[in-house]
Structure 1
Amino acid sequence: MKIIQASKIGTQNWKYFQEKIILNNPLVLVFGNRYLLEKEEVIKGIREEFPYEHIVFGSTAGEILCCNVNDNSISVTAIELEKSSFVVERDNILNYDKNANALGEALYKKIPKDNLKHLFVLSEGSFVNGSSLINGLEKGIDSLVSITGGMCGDDARFEKTVASYKEDPKEGEVLLIGFYGESLEVSYASFGGWIPFGPERVITKAEANVLYEIDGQPALDLYKKYLGDKAKELPQASLLYPLNVTPEGKSAPVVRTILKINNDDHSMTLAGDVPVNSKVQLMMASVDGIAGGAQVAAEFAMKDRVNAPELAILVSCIGRKLVMDQRVEEEIEEVRDAIGSKVPMTGFYSYGEMAPFNGSTACQLHNQTMTLTLISE
């Protein structure tokens, strides 16, 4: 595996992290600020600097490259696979009347199946239901094929996200990257570090990812009551106080970030499904807790590996970044300490993370986690 990484902050020149060499048909991952990815001259500059065919673009809530977390930047990781291969497929949620399940099923049908080892998802992050997207992708999937990925971001604006493959970035895109090859080793993990608090309640009315009632009370009213004065800062304040949701019959909870509130019907739209009869609690976090969660995720991802990773893709939640603020790079450093200082790292801050629970194979949508995908040939 040969890798070139470079970043460009604002109008500065490109900064390379390895020697700039010509690669053979690489997969090029471009993560960047949405405002920059919408500028024609920026995209033109990226294509001139990296004149390759297979370029994947995704907007973020912060770009991860090496041990740095940047804002208002473009980060590029070009990957030449020497013993394995990749295929990228794309589709748009707007072609499916925003039915993420149908889109996921259609995308998986497009991807070649022979020797498929792993799928990495890069999804629109504003209105795609990540849980439904995963359910669609996993219909009929081979149990040996794992899925990880993330939902694109837009800083803390929550206005819109953009992504694309080969084309200029646009709204509604969902990309599926398939990795192929017998020699390929992919490991992954996801962990949060957030702490539930307050009474455990029950979701009594919800449809997909829209939460209407908790314990028979309007969900938004109850949530505002717990937030107190911070309710004035909604919806941004919700990133600091996500929900811990345990579906009926499940032992492992998932964390759900609130993306949007509706004062008219007192509902909250979350990043993933919140089934009726699920148990629910508020959550909070400390900087040390989040950094410790990143360390746990990295240790899980490294636990059963045969070979050292050659690439690490990190997807962390915008809520973690807001809590950590100026100390945000501490969680990246915790990952680096666990996986090795020579492993190239790339990734982004997201509106949702995709990975199986640690020790499982079925993918789940997570919020407020550090999710890692470690790849070697």
Structure 2
Amino acid sequence: MKAINIQGTSIGEVKSAFAKAVSQNFAPTLAIVFCSIAQDRKELVTFLNGHNIQIFGSTTAGEVIDNEITEGATVIMLLDIKREHYSIFSKSSKNTLEIAKEMATTAKNTFNDPSIIVVSSGLTVDAEDIINGVQNFDNKIPLYGGLAGDDLKMTASYVFSNDFESDNGLLALIIDNKKVHVAGLATSGWDNIGVEKTITKSDGNIVYSIDDEPALDVFVKFFQFTENLHDRAEVIAMNFAQYPLQMKKENGNVVLRAPLMANMEDSSLIFAGGIPEGSKVQFSVPPGFDLVDKTRDSISVLKDTMENPDAVIVFSCKARHLALGPIMEDEAGKLRSIWDKPLLGFFTYGEIGTAVNSTCDFHNETCSMVVLEERK
């Protein structure tokens, strides 16, 4: 299996890059497409349809291609994977749990040993339902992915394929693991600080109080924000992205939950993922400039499983990007250097993956890597 990455900030640039790629006696069957909502998705789909290429696509909050980070662009990984080695599942529904179970059922009916890479809307879909739907059917199916972004406009994010587009559905790339080996790992690098606290009032991903104090006030006091934040919810999100809550789940997993927005009227915080009432949490902080080295070292253990992959896909949290800024490009370069193979990804509104000594879960502020290698 061969992978070639192309990019562009217009459909013209994409077409030109595509023409150069296929001139190398290369006939791709699948395109993994990550693009800004500012890009013309319909034209992209029409173009790829014209070349009989299947599409696995998502809108983004920034893109990653090899060792480069872009914003407002289109990045594409072209693969010449055999069509009988993969399948694409797509469906829209408000009942994410049910379509996730249908996705898992389809995967198992298609291949005896499937792996699933899934993308979904980042604003209308509860990623916990995706995981639960799959695990309730078969908890041994490997599951990786991310939630689509919309350049932080927070209006609508989309997943799309050849004849499908949805802002409330699932799109899955189902791979025959007996033909294409798929492996993955999620890692964050954030350090927990402070004493354990309790979520005393929440509703889904909205936290109203922590230890019976307004959630916003707890953050402001703990980190001693002196800036006047009144009516500046976007400033709050930019600051607080550096300090996600580390949450202990009933199954023993520890995940991060990043605050995305603040409600100034009731001093609540909206997080990129659910935080149930009664949850035990701690604040966390990035450890400094060595974070990217920690991420690379953590991901490098995948080399024990797959030494020479054909392609690498990365789902990295937008809140992580906000917190680390220019350091993220350094991280992209170091991740690509692990295997020196084509790497493609995007900044998400949440990641699905499995951390070390854990089970598959929904993460924030995390880098979830997936590597693919055609079995000989």
Q: TM-score, normalised by structure 1?
A: 0.87
Q: Does 1:214 align with 2:215?
A: no
What letter is aligned with 2:292?
Answer: A
Separation in 2 of the partners of 1:238 and 1:47?
42
Worse-matched range after superposition: 9-18 or 348-357:
9-18
C-alpha deviation, 1:259, in angstroms: 3.1
Q: Give the one of 200, 203, 210 matched to 1:204.
A: 200
1:125-144 correspondence to structure 2 within 5 Å:
125-141=122-138, 143=140
Match of 1:375 in 2: 372
Match of 1:280 in 2: 281
What letter is aligned with 1:257?
Answer: A
1:122-271 correspondence to structure 2 within 5 Å:
122-141=119-138, 143=140, 145-167=141-163, 169-227=165-223, 228-229=225-226, 231=229, 232=232, 233-248=235-250, 250=252, 252-271=253-272
Stretches of structure 2 that go unaligned for 5 or more consecutive residues are: none
Separation in 2 of the partners of 1:30 and 1:177?
12
What letter is aligned with 1:243?
Answer: L
Separation in 1 of the partners of 2:55 and 2:117?
14
C-alpha deviation, 1:320, in angstroms: 2.2
Q: Does 1:315 align with 2:315?
A: yes
Structure 1 residues 139-192: Cα deviation after superposition (integer angstroms, max 9, x where no partner): 12152x210111111223333211112136442232111101424322211111
- Contact 2:45 / 2:161 at 8 angstroms: preserved in 1? no
Separation in 1 of the partners of 2:190 and 2:153?
23
Worse-matched range after superposition: 63-72 or 365-374:
63-72
Structure 1 residues 313-341: Cα deviation after superposition (integer angstroms, max 9, x where no partner): 11111122223323321101111222x22
In structure 2, relative to structure 1, the CA distance for the partners of 1:68 and 1:20 (3 Å cut) is farther
Match of 1:301 in 2: 302
- Contact 1:125 / 1:352 at 8 angstroms: preserved in 2? yes
In structure 2, relative to structure 1, the CA distance for the partners of 1:100 and 1:130 (3 Å cut) is same
SS at the partner of 2:87? strand
Q: TM-score, normalised by structure 2?
A: 0.87
C-alpha deviation, 1:288, in angstroms: 1.6
Separation in 1 of the partners of 2:24 and 2:164?
25
In structure 2, relative to structure 1, the CA distance for the partners of 1:370 and 1:249 (3 Å cut) is closer
Separation in 2 of the partners of 1:6 and 1:67?
13
In structure 2, relative to structure 1, the CA distance for the partners of 1:242 and 1:24 (3 Å cut) is same
1:322-341 correspondence to structure 2 within 5 Å:
322-338=322-338, 340-341=339-340
Stretches of structure 1 that go unaligned for 5 or more consecutive residues are: none
Match of 1:30 in 2: 33
In structure 2, relative to structure 1, the CA distance for the partners of 1:182 and 1:83 (3 Å cut) is farther
Separation in 2 of the partners of 1:112 and 1:218?
46
Separation in 2 of the partners of 1:20 and 1:216?
63
Supply the RMSD in Å over aligned alpha carbons: 2.6
Separation in 1 of the partners of 2:177 and 2:142?
14
In structure 2, relative to structure 1, the CA distance for the partners of 1:249 and 1:350 (3 Å cut) is closer
Worse-matched range after superposition: 58-67 or 287-296:
287-296
Separation in 1 of the partners of 2:314 and 2:189?
16
